């Protein structure tokens, strides 16, 4: 957990340093600092998406579940466990790469991958449905692996 706190602090520091630099091209970052800055921005977007899907799932459960509070409590408990897993998994990635300047980027990539998968899981279990249903959220982007891309061609 200490490593994850250090990672998040490092990413926050990178963002703070670059906030005064509006010309960071996140489509083509050239320095480690720029890569970390762009990863931090992207991670915030992925976190916001996960939060949006969780909130939408809770709203739908309140409206449709037979025992909404019990289901919501179960989803909240699973979210806390998932957060612990994600912290631990990405801390391991950070530790693996700790001697390199890429460590923050690798840990952030780990976190984004897991958040995308979690968003997709929440969508699939609670929000996907009939296309005519106005409460249906669009399918979120899943993590893409090179092996998946190679096999899709």
CA pair distance 128, 111, nearest whole angstrom: 24
Closest CA to 41 of 25, 52, 54: 25
Q: Residue 149: inside a domain, yes or no? A: no
Total structural domains within the chain: 1
Q: Report the candidate in 81, 88, 80, 83 with the shortest Cα–Cα distance to residue 4.
A: 88
pLDDT at position 146 is 52
User: What's the mean per-residue pLDDT of the chain?
Assistant: 83
Is residue 122 in some structural domain? yes
4 touches 91 (CB < 8 A): yes
pLDDT at 21: 53
**141 backbone dihedrals φ, ψ, rounded to 5°:** -65, 135
Q: Would residue 66 count as lying in a domain?
A: yes
Q: Which of 134, 144, 126, 116 is nearest to 49 (CA)?
A: 116
Q: Is 132 part of any domain? A: yes
- Is 150 inside any structural domain? no
- pLDDT (tens digit, 9 = 90+) per residue, 7-42? 555 454 454 444 555 578 999 989 989 999 999 999
- The pTM of the whole model exceeds 0.85: no
The reply to whether 50 falls in a domain is yes
**pLDDT the model gives residue 140:** 87
| Domain encompassing residue 32 | 2-143
Give the CA distances from residue 66 to residues 27, 71, 74, 109, in Å, rounded to whole numbers and listed in that order.
Answer: 46, 9, 14, 38
Asked if the structure places residue 7 within a domain, the reply is yes
User: Looking at the predicted structure, is the pLDDT value of residue 101 above 70?
Assistant: yes
pLDDT tens sequence across 65-95? 999 999 999 999 999 999 999 999 999 999 9
CA distance 149 to 153: 7
Q: With a cut of 50, say whether residue 151 has pLDDT above it.
A: no
Note whether residue 148 is domain-resident. Answer: no
């Amino acid at each position: 957990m200490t490593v994850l706190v250090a990672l998040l602090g490092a990413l926050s520091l990178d963002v703070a340093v670059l906030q005064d630099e509006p010309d960071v091209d996140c489509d083509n970052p050239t320095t480690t600092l720029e890569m970390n800055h762009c990863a931090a921005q992207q991670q915030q977007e992925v976190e916001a998406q996960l939060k949006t899907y969780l909130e939408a799932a809770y709203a739908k459960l309140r409206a449709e579940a037979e025992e909404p509070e019990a289901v919501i409590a179960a989803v909240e408990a699973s979210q806390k466990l998932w957060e612990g897993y994600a912290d631990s998994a990405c801390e391991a990635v950070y530790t693996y790469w700790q001697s390199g300047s890429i460590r923050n980027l690798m840990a952030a990539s780990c976190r984004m991958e897991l958040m995308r998968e979690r968003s997709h899981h929440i969508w699939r279990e609670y929000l996907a449905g009939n296309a005519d249903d106005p409460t249906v959220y669009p399918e979120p982007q899943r993590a893409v692996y090179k092996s998946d891309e190679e096999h899709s061609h």
